Chains A and B, each alone.
Chain A
Amino acid sequence: DQQVKQNSPSLSVQEGRISILNCDYTNSMFDYFLWYKKYPAEGPTFLISISSIKDKNEDGRFTVFLNKSAKHLSLHIVPSQPGDSAVYFCAASRTTSGTYKYIFGTGTRLKVLA
Chain B
Amino acid sequence: KAGVTQTPRYLIKTRGQQVTLSCSPISGHRSVSWYQQTPGQGLQFLFEYFSETQRNKGNFPGRFSGRQFSNSRSEMNVSTLELGDSALYLCASSLGSSEPQHFGDGTRLSIL
- The finding on whether chains A and B are genuine partners in a shared complex, rather than unrelated, reads no
